[in-house]
Structure 1
């Protein structure tokens, strides 16, 4: 059982170096896509507990802080975490939209932070089939009309195929690796799979840097996809 704490430092500690790093992440995403704005952003990683969910919730918090209308979609259907990050019940959600044909508007949770949430609800069989269905793609297209930004949290790339499927219909992918935790070979393998799948990787985040031990280094470091190509 996981007991990992998902901190939204942008909300809890807005003046911290970590919060400022997330604001720089949002700025870098925006500046790297001036000609073709990124509206639907996917957060994923190579392996579990690399920081993808923490990145997703804090990026969404930056959008909300700027007065943008933002929603987080929990598409980590096998091991959902967004409800834990926001301390919400996960009784209803994406499952009810897919299985019971509920209107997704009725399933959206309004958080006091200003961030909307579409949680997973009950366990879904065959998530990889559901995520590539036209029903889900149509929902994303409708949400594009209703929200300024959509942040999608997906499973790690090396665990299941779900993240690769979602990467086909989002605007850009943020790839997260944990400092001194993610194995280099795993990080490279996951990145290679995304690239081979045609994902638009707009950048990466190096997570879990201890700012008390690393002077001048924020808790999350953004690097562009161009930097990665030149390595």
Structure 2
């Protein structure tokens, strides 16, 4: 659910704005423009987090591009209810310029969907063309939010994390296994990815946090993912 669009004044929307602020101040020693959002496994809320985070940055006056780099099971176009005829894969395979496939969704927010699903997604995201794509769009936008496949089933997100300035890991409470989360973190650290933090989704309403069901919490800048800085948002 695009909660910042449907209920912009809700507590949940304010939560995403706080997440936005935490990310903006999470890196002090370099540029932070490309943010990869991933998870250990499927169904943990990474795409919802990426979409709402992109909207939060856009509503904050930043020029934002949301890229669906999940060239296996893309969902961004479904969440925004836009067409997915051409997109990232067409830039990588056919050499289309990003401005030829971009969807102008609203003020400050552009979207590039996945495009045609290729037979070799991992090779595509690891290519020089992918690096050039990111270099090109970084010139045009303040922030690029990248929705990627989950880490454990495929290698795409691990590859992309080396090109992103920072990575956010989404973990579903009560669903994600501790071992899977640790392995996902280790996969990122093995390639020297910058882990900005963790968003925990699907917190049960009886967990004692007092805000209702399925809340997200953001854990601040810590590559060992140990220091907690509670965030705020409910998974709609």
CA RMSD of aligned residues (A): 1.9
Where does 1:109-120 land on structure 2 (aligned, <5 Å)?
A: 109-112=103-106, 114-120=108-114
- Name 1:221's counterpart in structure 2: 217
Measured in 1, the distance between the counterparts of 2:63 and 2:52 equals 14
Secondary structure of the corresponding residue to residue 167 of structure 2:
strand
In the TM superposition, residue 186 of structure 1 has moved relative to its aligned partner by 1.2
- Name 1:3's counterpart in structure 2: none
1:84 pairs, out of 70, 78, 86, with 78
Q: Which moved more, 1:186-195 or 1:50-59?
A: 186-195
- 1:202 matched to 2:199? The reply is no
Contact 2:219 2:227 in 1 (8 A): no
In the superposition, the TM-score normalised over structure 1's length comes to 0.91
In the superposition, the TM-score normalised over structure 2's length comes to 0.89
Runs of 4+ in 1 over 3 A off after TM superposition: 210-214
In the TM superposition, residue 210 of structure 1 has moved relative to its aligned partner by 4.8
Q: Which moved more, 1:204-213 or 1:180-189?
A: 204-213
Secondary structure of the corresponding residue to residue 219 of structure 1:
coil
1:29-63 Cα distance to aligned partner (Å, 9 max, x none) = 11221332411000000000111101100110111
In the TM superposition, residue 22 of structure 1 has moved relative to its aligned partner by 1.0
- 1:155 matched to 2:152? The reply is no
Secondary structure of the corresponding residue to residue 111 of structure 1:
strand
- 1:184 matched to 2:181? The reply is no
Q: How many residues align?
A: 225
- Name 2:94's counterpart in structure 1: 100
Measured in 1, the distance between the counterparts of 2:123 and 2:164 equals 17
Unaligned regions of 5+ residues in structure 2, if any?
A: 229-236
Measured in 2, the distance between the counterparts of 1:209 and 1:30 equals 25
1:92-126 Cα distance to aligned partner (Å, 9 max, x none) = 11222122222221100111364211111111121
- Name 1:135's counterpart in structure 2: 129
Contact 1:21 1:219 in 2 (8 A): no
Measured in 2, the distance between the counterparts of 1:9 and 1:188 equals 29
In the TM superposition, residue 142 of structure 1 has moved relative to its aligned partner by 1.2
Contact 1:17 1:219 in 2 (8 A): no
Measured in 1, the distance between the counterparts of 2:80 and 2:18 equals 23
Measured in 1, the distance between the counterparts of 2:171 and 2:107 equals 26
